[in-house]
Amino acid sequence: MYINGEFMDSKSGNEITVINPSTGEEISTVPEATREEAQEAIDAAYEAEKTWKFVPAATRGQYLHEIANEIREHKDLFAEMLQEEQGKIKSLAMTEILFSADYFDYMGSASRTYEGEILQSDNRNENIMIAKQPIGVVAGILPWNFPFFLIARKMGPALVTGNTIVLKPSSDTPNLALEFAKTVEKVGIPKGVVNIISGRGGVVGDELTKNHKIGIISLTGSTKSGKRVMEGASEHLAKVSLELGGKAPGIICSDADIDFAVQSIIDSRIDNNGQICNNCERLYVQEDVADEVIEKLSKKLSEVTVGDPMEDESIGMGPLINQEALDKVSGMVDRAVEAGGKITAGGHKLKIKNGFYYEPTVITNVKQDSEIVQHEVFGPVLPVLTFKTLDEAIEMANDTTYGLTSSIFTQNLDTAARAAN
């Protein structure tokens, strides 16, 4: 862990075992922080913020530029670690690392435009002055599916605006965050400004949501986790920023470029091994092209190579994150089949080493109100339904408790605009 500028183990002696999802083998162990150690990190950030907020914004931004440079210099190490603990294919792993560097640069440049405003008032002889002040200590709770980029997304805006931060990586992917702490140390960010603690959500995460010294909680994770954060934050009225689950609909109209639409949906569905909250999770196809779309989807998804992405760079898709995720995906597909669903591609776990693999899967003959259509799968599974009219497709697409994103494939701009509105 990295607390107040020092690397340390947990005083409890407890550790979290990190597993390579591609092989099922142990990679490492990391400290399992106690509630008291989480409090120590929060206290360090709270004290550091008292002086950090007075550091000129341009200077704070320069630290972020230096971090970006360090990331690029060590991109191969970070990308390899990302592949090892999360199972990304190499190209996506490197993309995540370089995007993170770009985002730190972006936020570093934003320091030059961080300023207040003076507005004219309706009242005579009065002006309105708006001065932007830091909130204080930010709690950044990270997901496992983009464990490096979300460091940048939470830490960059926090630091450039004069806040300090306590980052908690997922217990599935803590290695990258702890390695990143060495970068924080190297560029000389003052002690306590950035703290990184590994631990369980029920202990460390709970303290980060309920501690009254936390000014804002930024969580990227499941809807279930978001509800827990809201409950904890309500105890001391902390601000909350949540990016949660999704069930993104895709619509393919009869006038669409079918080959382009099919490839786009496939790329979306297998991206990050099917584990992205805003990629297409359910597909609606107009009836007169449904057979063609389903046939092409099923054929192309069946051709996707699945395996250990560190072993072969040509691999198209890696594993799910852990056994729990694999069992969840498998269970949802099995229940859909029991309810009458028809598998046209995939539908099974894969025995590759001891990893957590599931076949890219297409399932048809499912109902709009079924579990697999209404709830997030978070795996390489695509339920396909059909529609007659655009109004019907829009109604089904909007029939969800989730938000985030949607897509439509058509060559008619009016149709696309109508769906968007």
Sheet with 194-196, side-by-side order of all strands = 6-7, 2-3, 194-196, 164-168, 137-141, 214-220, 239-243
Give me the amino acid identity at 418. R
Cα distance between residue 97 and residue 146, in whole Å: 10
User: Do 247 and 375 form a contact (C-beta atoms < 8 A)?
Assistant: yes
Give the relative orientation of helices 75-86 and 90-110 as an angle to the nearest 10 degrees: 120
Residues 6+ apart with CB under 8 A from 229: 141, 205, 209, 217, 219, 240, 242
Q: What kind and span of H or E run contains 167?
A: strand 164-168
- 3 state SS for 19-43: ECCCCCCEEEEEECCCHHHHHHHHH
Instruction: Give the β-pairing of 117-120 and 239-243.
Output: unpaired
Cβ-contact 316, 304 below 8 angstroms: yes
Residue tagged 């729990």 (tokens): 324
Side-chain-facing half-sphere of 91: CA atoms under 13 Å: 8
**Buried-exposed string 102-140: b where 16+ CB fall within 10 A, e elsewhere:** ebbbbbbebbeebeeeeeeeeeeeeeeeeeeebbbbbbb
Residue 404 is given by DSSP the state: S
Among this protein's residues, is 303 annotated catalytic?
no
Of 15, 243, 295, 371, which residue is the catalytic one?
A: 243
Contact 272, 360 (CB under 8 A): no
User: Per the structure block, which two tokens stand in for 239?
Assistant: 């601000």
Closest CA to 5 of 232, 141, 142, 194: 194
Contact of 195 with 166, CB cutoff 8 Å? yes
Alpha-carbon distance of 336 to 343, in angstroms, equals: 9
Helices (H), 170-245: 175-187, 206-210, 223-234
Which residues are marked as active site? 243
